[in-house]
Every structure is written in C-alpha cells, then in structure tokens.
C-alpha cells in the first residue's frame, strides 16, 4: 500500500466518526414525529427525547480526554463505535416496552456519549497522522463526513418512512430509522482495527520505535526521522515527573483561547438554523408546509457543496483567511434575513440570506474550527485541552438550542421593532467577536508541523 492510499484509508476510517456524528444527530429529526405519536408525548417530553443526546455529548467530550491519554486515539474511537452501535440497536427497543420512554432516552444518551468521544478524538487523530502540507484538507474530511451524515440520514429516513403507511411508521417505522445506523457504526468499528495508533500518542507513552515505524509508513524514512526528533523535543520538560500544570498562565491561556473559538462556532447560530430550519421556513419565512421539505434539502445540499470547497482551499488559502471570508458571508446572510424580517418583506431575499449563511459557515467555522482545534494545542496537553474545548462546544450547542425558541417566542422579538429578527442580530454580534478573536489570538497553522505550531505559544 503506497503512502497516499494509506493516508486516505486512515482519514476515511476516522472521518466515519464524523458521519456517525451527523447520522446520530440527524436520525432523531426523521424519527421524532412518529415516535412522539407512538408514545403520545407532550411537548416537554418530546423536547427531552430529542435533546437528551446532547447531555451524552457533553459527558462524552469530558471523558474523551482521559480516555485518549490512557488508551490512545484509536481505541477511544473504537469505544465510540461500540457506543454508536449499542445506541442504534437499543433506541428501537422501547417499542417492545411502550410504557418506557426513559429506555429510549437512556440509549439516546449512550449515542451522545459516542458522539462526544468521537468529536474530540477523530479530528485529533487525523491531525496527528497527516503530513503538514495536507493536514487541513484531511481534518476537513471530518466536517465533510458530518455533513454527509446529515444528508444520508435524511434520505434514509425519508426512504423508510415513504415506503410505510403512517400507522406502520408510528408502530415500528421509527425503530427501523434508528436501526439503520447499525450499518455505518458496525463498518466504523470493523475498519478501526486496521488503522495504526497515533505516532504522537505512542511517543507520549515512550514507544518511540513504534511511533517511528508509523511515521515511516506515512512520510518515508528521511522525513520520519526528522519528525520523531521534533516530537521528542516537544515532549521534553525540565520536570522529571513529566507533570503538566494546566493552571499555569501560558497553558491555561491556550486552553481558554481554543475553548472560546470552539464555543463561538455554536454562537454563530448554525444549529438554530439546522435544528429549527423547518420552523424558520414555515413561521419566519412564510413558506407553506409543502415547501419545507424542499427547503431542507436545499440547505443540506448547500452545506455539502461549500464544505467540499473548504476542504480544497483550507491548505491553499490558510485557516484564518477562510474564517474572515466566512464570517463576512455569515454576517451578510443574517443581515439579509434579519432586515427582511424586520421590514416585514419576507420572501426570496430571506431565503437567500439563510442560504448565504449556511454556505459561509460550511466554508469557514464548520470545518476550520475542527482543523484549528486539532492543530493548535501542544502535544503534552492536546488530549485534555481538546476535551475541554469540545465539551465547551457541546455546552454552547445546548444553550443555543434551548434559548433560540425562547428568544423567538419572546415579546421583545415579536414586537413591532423586531418582527422576529432579534435572534439573527444577536448571532451577528457573536460573529463580529469571532473576527476579533481570530485576528488577535489564533495562529495561522497552514503548512506547519504540529511541533512548529507549538512555537507560536512560547
């Protein structure tokens, strides 16, 4: 197997974690209408069943750091694959026990644990394996896989639901939607046994010979020997116990910067648009129910296309330029949407605003944040720092998903001054903060080895 094929296999397998991220998050959207009727859920319980996985995601991201340090990136991903499979199978079981909605929630939380662990380990694993010249592109496979997962699960749930009557969907069709996730989760689990362990983790554990052997497969002997020396140098410390003081000014500062960037990804409003897209189209934009499905497909398609564009430009243009370009586009999109709502001129301009926002996010904060998080932390703290940053992202996801409908339904938002536009102007304010934070604190990592990036913080 040549180096290029070897790298592609590694990226494809680990990116399957992203596909399962998108698939597991999206499957509930297709199934929730029918399972809500099956269990006769009220709005509060419906919200809990749909949102319970986020709790698992948060906990999964928190435990992902210790897991990654102890067992490595590869085995952490294997654990996440097992959790995905258990969740996919178990989420269909409550139909046998119709009185037990809590059983469904339990398995949804298990799936969330898998997402949390994979969302931290998959991009980090790819970054630690990939050559610096194409690392951005390879990490972007992860975000691309998330988007593909959303798109695929939409098609799968539509296919399952469309081939059954409504009564059959309410009785058992939603269970098949959950069980469909077993195919990618089992494939992910099997293929993970064929990828190597991260050379940086091996070096961290003192297994330099194994680390070098993996690097030779990726880079060839000359570059591998150079890189193993850089890794060894980065891991050296005057503290013979090799303990890291995470509360030192420099290390805490790095973690805070990374976590802030991670949290701000959610405060762009992306998941408000994705989670509540149907409501936005129907209520805010004035589209009829028959149009909502077509609009959602359009959103997914735009998201996919611009993620591809990001994948092929992130190593050419750099990380920071894409964030600047995407942030300007996101602000422009929400200005079109917000002003059209405020002026009660809802129509094609409003739709273009939503699509411009989605395209700009997919080009920038969607993939680039995962690239930067996987690159910016020094070797010794990468697992813990990335665990904190990803946990912060899931917490922010929860805050946005819970607060968005509250702000939408508030008296202030529905007053004559705002006419439903207030949330989008709030998101614009956060996007401006992203531009400032990126300019002042985020290093440009294009073309640099992970060890060279460490030098930025010294």
Q: Give the pLDDT confidence of 136-156 residue by residue, as tens digits.
A: 988 998 888 988 888 888 788
Nearest to 153 by CA among 334, 15, 24, 56: 24
Which H/E stretch holds residue 268? Answer: none
Candidate CATH numbers 3.40.640.10, 1.10.3720.10, 1.20.1250.20, 3.90.550.10; the one for domain 1-195:
1.20.1250.20
pLDDT for 242 equals 57
For CATH 1.20.1250.20, list the domain ranges present in the chain: 1-195, 245-458
pLDDT for 64 equals 95
Residues 6+ apart with CB under 8 A from 392: 259, 262, 263
d(CA 365, CA 383): 21
pLDDT for 285 equals 65
pLDDT for 435 equals 98
CB of 360 closer than 8 Å to CB of 333: yes
Q: Give the pLDDT confidence of 345-368 residue by residue, as tens digits.
A: 888 888 899 999 999 999 999 999
Structure tokens at 289: 């129910």
pLDDT at 4 over 80: no
pLDDT at 237 over 60: no
d(CA 396, CA 233): 36
User: pLDDT > 70: what percent of the chain?
Assistant: 92
Residue 50's alpha-carbon distances to 41, 127, 229, 349, 352, in angstroms, are 11, 32, 48, 31, 29
* Helices of type H across 164-240: 166-168, 174-179, 182-192, 199-204, 208-219, 221-235
d(CA 229, CA 252): 26
| CATH class of the domain at 245-458 | mainly alpha
Would you list the DSSP string of 350-389?
A: HHHHHHHHHHHHHHTHHHHHHHHHHHHS-GGGHHHHHHHH
pLDDT at 239 over 50: no
Which H/E stretch holds residue 4? Answer: helix 3-39
Nearest to 139 by CA among 251, 266, 17, 261: 17
d(CA 227, CA 221): 10
Nearest to 145 by CA among 169, 172, 115, 170: 115
Q: At what angle do helices 365-376 and 319-342 cross, to 10 degrees?
A: 140
**75-84, 178-187, 279-288, 330-339: least confident range:** 279-288
Cβ count within 10 A of residue 323: 23
Q: Give the pLDDT confidence of 33-70 residue by residue, as tens digits.
A: 788 888 888 867 877 887 788 889 999 999 999 999 99
């Amino acid at each position: 197997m040549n180096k290029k094929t070897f790298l592609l296999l590694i990226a494809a397998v680990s990116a399957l974690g992203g596909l399962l991220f998108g698939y597991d998050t999206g499957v509930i959207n297709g199934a929730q209408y029918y399972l809500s009727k099956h269990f006769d859920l009220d709005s509060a319980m419906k919200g809990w069943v749909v949102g319970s996985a986020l709790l698992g995601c948060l906990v999964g991201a928190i435990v992902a750091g210790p897991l990654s340090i102890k067992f490595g990136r590869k085995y952490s991903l294997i654990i996440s694959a097992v959790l995905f499979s258990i969740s996919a199978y178990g989420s269909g079981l409550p139909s046998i026990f119709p009185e037990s909605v809590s059983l469904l929630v339990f398995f949804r939380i298990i799936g969330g644990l898998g997402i949390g662990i994979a969302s931290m380990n998959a991009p980090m694993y790819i970054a630690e394996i990939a050559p610096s010249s194409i690392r951005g592109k390879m990490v972007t496979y992860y975000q691309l896989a998330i988007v593909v997962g959303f798109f695929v699960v939409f098609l799968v749930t539509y296919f399952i639901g469309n081939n059954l009557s409504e009564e059959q969907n309410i009785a058992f069709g939603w269970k098949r939607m959950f069980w469909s996730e077993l195919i990618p989760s089992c494939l992910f689990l099997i293929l993970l046994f064929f990828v190597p362990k991260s050379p940086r983790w091996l070096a961290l554990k003192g297994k330099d010979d194994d680390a070098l052997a993996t690097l030779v497969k990726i880079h060839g002997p000359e570059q591998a020997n150079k890189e193993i020396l850089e890794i060894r140098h980065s891991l050296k410390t005057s503290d013979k116990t090799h303990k890291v003081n995470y509360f030192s000014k420099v290390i805490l500062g790095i973690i805070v910067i990374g976590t802030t960037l991670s949290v701000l990804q959610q405060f762009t409003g992306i998941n408000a648009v994705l989670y509540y897209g149907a409501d936005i189209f129907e209520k805010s934009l004035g589209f009829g129910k028959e149009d909502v499905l077509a609009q959602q497909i359009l959103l997914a398609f735009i998201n996919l296309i611009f993620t591809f564009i990001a994948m092929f430009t992130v190593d050419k243009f750099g990380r920071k330029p894409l964030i600047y370009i995407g942030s300007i586009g996101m602000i422009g999109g929400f200005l079109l949407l917000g002003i059209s709502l405020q002026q009660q001129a809802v129509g094609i301009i409003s739709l273009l605003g939503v699509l411009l926002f989605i395209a700009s996010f997919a080009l920038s904060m969607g993939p680039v944040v995962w690239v930067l998080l996987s690159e910016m932390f020094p070797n010794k703290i990468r697992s813990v720092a990335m665990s904190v940053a990803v946990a912060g992202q899931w917490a922010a996801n929860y805050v946005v998903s819970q607060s968005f409908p509250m702000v939408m339904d508030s008296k202030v938002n529905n007053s004559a001054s705002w006419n439903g536009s207030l949330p989008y102007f709030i998101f614009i304010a956060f996007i401006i903060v992203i531009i400032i934070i990126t300019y002042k604190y985020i290093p440009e990592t294009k073309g640099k080895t992970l060890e060279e990036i460490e030098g930025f913080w010294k």
